[in-house]
Amino acid sequence: MASKLRFKVVDDAFKKRPVEVKTPVERPSEYFGKFVFDKQKMFKYLPAKVYAKMCDVIDNGAPFDRKIADAVAEGMKRWAIDLGVTHYTHWFQPLTEGTAEKHDGFVEHDGKGGMVEEFEGKILVQQEPDASSFPSGGIRSTFEARGYSAWDPTSPVFIIGDTLMIPTIFISYTGEALDYKAPLKKSLYAVDKAATAVSQYFYPDVKKVITNLGWEQEYFLVDESLYTARPDLVMTGRTLMGHDSAKNQQMDDHYFGSIPERVENFMRDIEIHALELGIPCKTRHNEVAPNQFELAPIYEECNLAVDHNMLMMSIMKRVARKHGFRCILHEKPFKGVNGSGKHNNWSLCTDTGVLLHAPGKTQMENLRFVTFIVETLKAVYDHNGLLKAAISSATNAHRLGANEAPPAIISSFLGRTVSDLLEHVEKSSDDDILAVAGKTTMQLDIPSIPEILIDNTDRNRTSPFAFTGNRFEFRAVGSEANCASAMLALNTAVAEALTNFKERVDVLIEKGEAKESAILKVVRDDIKYIKPIHFDGNGYSEEWKEEAAKRGLDCETSCPLIYDRYLDENTIKMFESQKVMTKFELQARNEIKWETYTKKIQIEARIFGDLCMNHIIPVVTKYQSTLIDNVHKIKEIFPEEKYQKISANNLHLIEQISEHESFIVENVEKMVEARKKANRIESEREKAIAYHDNVAPYLEKIRYHVDKLEEVVDDELWPLPKYRELLFIR
């Protein structure tokens, strides 16, 4: 029965499904932002004075005046109703890695037995979700349920289906952040304040510094029928067992290859949805592993980019099902092939230009470039353990350090040009700052091919935090993570470094030092200080792990222990001094992180035990019985000498199966006991450590034996779709 079911599932999966793809006849520029209440819509639906105030809030960070809330809500409602909208919701990002929404209708009594469509300013600006039902780390209890969601006017309202979606922050009744957006926005304000002050050394007219983010979203697609036949994929997002396919990514033929037709239809569909929602999708391509793909937008302001990424992940999952796929965002859904990351391209720019852009035309411009590079590296060095904690999870732990993912040691690649520049600045005199080289050219011996422009940095895929021309690429962020976790840690660290830099420079200036000379002195000190974080070599090598430890970099690999970095004295001081999070909020978030880690391993262990005992062992036993029966029949038919020769292979196979089977049964029991023992621990930290140390190792130990059985058990009996079926779309 198992074989018939499995092969029917595989057959169904390999049949192409005709899908009606949404293809507007307009050019993308004509429907971009169609379902977004952007400035163009505001201008049309809001009174002129209200529109001007909203622009001041969005462009200049002016406080929102509640007196205009009713007028804004009325304009939004008229726009939404014109597009067939009937409901609204506050859309926020609780500490679950997902988003949350509760839909209400534009419905109120009219006092005459009928109803009217109504949407008031007070509802737009603020609502009260049940704060005790979301992870709070002890900030809210069941009997302390009140929490507030508050509108973020800098992230445009948008429409999904028949619902007006209002991006909001989410805080407790007592003011603590219960989401990612609130502290992210505080960190962006901290960077703006600190970076603007430093920028004014070089450009006195600078009024504002903006943090930009360009994310690159990697993901897997799996045929839906195959997905539903794998309980481990359904429940955990990854395959807990499965032997390597004979062919996977070793031929390097999937990367940038021709996109399968079904996948291209899916990509086209999600891009149209994204563009209509104002998400500027730019890139799509095959990634390295089979069934792995990537999409990326043009960079945007960081807060908006995070909102767009959360929205995009939701769109991808929903649209994939329409095309007969499931979209897998787990960092390591398949063992032995590349995992999925979400590279965060981070940069700073003023209202006049990009701070990390080089080369400059003057010595002060080059000094500006060096200053912001060095102070960013100082932030990364001072808080390398925290940055690792910000991207660590039970799922991302499977990816880091394997198959082109960066290692779990934070370091920064700069490239030869920038490295040489920093060395020169460290040793140069005050009036001799080396100009930063721009792109050079390479002329090929092929007359018809134009000359190649060579960047001033190479790429280093083993570097978690690499400088790539005018930005840093934080490559270690996991594919299913909320970017805000990494970005708010990085932003706050950079804000602290720049604040400290200005304080030291100002002290020298007050003592009579010339501004340029004071900047150079502090920069030179910091160039010497940050040398341990700078590494341009192979991050996968064992030598680097030893060297990183000698340099004092954080080399911890246990997730529960990595999370301790959030509660280090210098971390708490940083977040509190920059007014981003309090010690109480950090402690609460760590409780959530430890609890989440425990629950993910707990779910994996439960599903894995069930698969082993209720799917694998019965099939293996049945196959083994068939072999034993066959041996008995051979013995009845053939003489002893012939029997020994003919049955030797079967006897060896029976013995092999028995060994694997015994190991699985015995160790599943041990895993269950380890889980029960860990569950009795009250401390969330100690419980997470117990799950990491005593439960999780069983998953790999037992898997080895299950995967060996997959190789020898009759293919028709094996109950689960195999990698060769899961990893190739037809």
Predicted local confidence at residue 456, as pLDDT: 53
Pairing of strands 300-301, 292-297: unpaired
Q: Which residues contact 309 (CB under 8 A, 6 or more apart)?
A: 215, 217, 342, 482, 483
User: How far apart are alpha carbons 486 and 712 in whole angstroms?
Assistant: 44
Query: Alpha helices of 409-512 — where are they, by DSSP H?
Result: 416-427, 483-510
User: How far apart are alpha carbons 678 and 147 in whole angstroms?
Assistant: 32
Pick out the chain residues at pLDDT < 70: 1-25, 142-143, 359-360, 401-405, 429-461
* Closest alpha carbon to 594 in 691, 694, 671, 673: 691
User: How far apart are alpha carbons 248 and 254 in whole angstroms?
Assistant: 9
Q: Specify whether the CB–CB gap between 151 and 122 falls below 8 A.
A: no
Angle at which helices 696-712 and 583-611 pack, to 10 degrees? 30
What single-letter amino acid sits at 538? N
* CA triple 119-122-123, angle to 5 deg: 50
Q: Write the DSSP string, 100-124.
A: B---EES-EE-SSSSEE----HHHH
What single-letter amino acid sits at 508? L
Residue bearing tokens 């991050």? 539
Query: Alpha helices of 33-90 — where are they, by DSSP H?
Result: 39-45, 48-60, 69-82
User: How far apart are alpha carbons 493 and 510 in whole angstroms?
Assistant: 26
Q: Specify the DSSP element, H or E, that contains 609.
A: helix 583-611
Residue bearing tokens 């302001």? 301
User: How far apart are alpha carbons 230 and 704 in whole angstroms?
Assistant: 18
Separation in Å, CA 243 to CA 13, 549, 661: 20, 35, 16
Beta bridge partners of 222: 326
Predicted local confidence at residue 9, as pLDDT: 60
Predicted local confidence at residue 130, as pLDDT: 80
Pairing of strands 281-286, 292-297: antiparallel
Residue bearing tokens 């960070």? 61
User: How far apart are alpha carbons 234 and 225 in whole angstroms?
Assistant: 11
Angle at which helices 483-510 and 363-382 pack, to 10 degrees? 120
Report the SS3 class of residue 554: coil
* Closest alpha carbon to 482 in 179, 721, 270, 224: 179
Q: Which residues contact 597 (CB under 8 A, 6 or more apart)?
A: 393, 394, 559, 560, 563, 688, 691, 692
* Closest alpha carbon to 184 in 464, 388, 490: 490
User: How far apart are alpha carbons 721 and 291 in whole angstroms?
Assistant: 15
Full-model pTM: 0.92
Beta bridge partners of 341: 478
347 exposure class (CB count in 10 Å sphere: 0-12, 13-18, 19+)? buried
Q: Specify whether the CB–CB gap between 156 and 278 falls below 8 A.
A: yes
* Closest alpha carbon to 554 in 393, 726, 364, 407: 407
- CA torsion 173→158→102→479, rounded to 10°? -80
Angle at which helices 483-510 and 302-322 pack, to 10 degrees? 170
Report the SS3 class of residue 164: strand
Q: Specify whether the CB–CB gap between 588 and 139 falls below 8 A.
A: yes
User: How far apart are alpha carbons 176 and 136 in whole angstroms?
Assistant: 9
Question: Residue 38 CB: number of other CB atoms within 10 A?
Answer: 16
